[in-house]
Structure 1
């Protein structure tokens, strides 16, 4: 009995990278339609990466984008460690952008699932929870 050829790890990473970029593009489009201005995409800091940083009025949203086959899987995939990393990265961004420090900051999630409109969860978690 022969096994199907295994997918190479590099090919899987490339596929995951493409999926992530597509999900982030869909999330950015949704946020723009809701009146947000995208300040940064894939913003990197020593603490980690923030998928999207969006602003609407006096609110700045640090957005984590999760793409899974089901919304509940996507929501469950954001663990405590990842939330802490996002909060730390947001602090780095705020230090680099002092004009935004006076804004109302929050942490949002956009869930991207196949064949459905992305789901935006505003204020999904608080920095104090970390």
Structure 2
């Protein structure tokens, strides 16, 4: 059984979105490295979801969600409490599976990006319930 062809233009938009997302992750990684973070991984698959960036600085292991939107304000509000819970669980599962990460304090961070705006790093993302 074959899949039906996507509507015209859909495949192009999907590829463009994927490329823009990866470019945003690289920009966020460079921004964090300039702030002294070590990037430990990109797009890491974990039991509860995918982690955009895994970074470490001092005693902190940061699970970093990268959001690129048309405005910085939209990017800053783009992570739901449910997504935050999934990301925390994914980070915990990943850390449990890597002995080298034991002893580090797990923290959920976000890097928000928007065109012609300086990136914003939010440390210790908390739910807005």
Decide: shared fold, TM above 0.5. yes
How many angstroms apart in 2 are the aligned matches of 1:32 and 1:75? 20
Find the residue that maps to 2:116 and give its secondary structure. coil
How many angstroms apart in 1 are the aligned matches of 2:23 and 2:84? 22
Aligned length: 123
**Counterpart of 1:23?**
24
How many angstroms apart in 2 are the aligned matches of 1:14 and 1:79? 25
How many angstroms apart in 1 are the aligned matches of 2:69 and 2:21? 10
**Counterpart of 1:106?**
107
**Counterpart of 1:72?**
73
Measured at CA, do residues 74 and 36 of structure 1 come closer, stay the same or move farther in structure 2, by a change above 3 Å?
same
Judge conservation of contact 2:72–2:117 (CA < 8 Å) in 1.
Answer: no
Alignment of 1:38-77 (within 5 A): 38-77=39-78
Bigger mean CA deviation after superposition, 111-120 or 98-107: 98-107
Q: Per-residue displacement from partner, 1:67-87 (whole Å, max 9, x unpaired)?
A: 001111112211122112211
**Counterpart of 1:3?**
none
Task: Tell me the CA shift for residue 24 of structure 1.
Answer: 0.4
Judge conservation of contact 2:91–2:106 (CA < 8 Å) in 1.
Answer: no
How many angstroms apart in 1 are the aligned matches of 2:89 and 2:36? 26
**Counterpart of 2:14?**
13
Structure 1: segments with no counterpart, 5+ residues? 1-5
Task: Tell me the CA shift for residue 7 of structure 1.
Answer: 5.4
- Structure 2 residue 94 is the aligned partner of structure 1 residue 93: yes
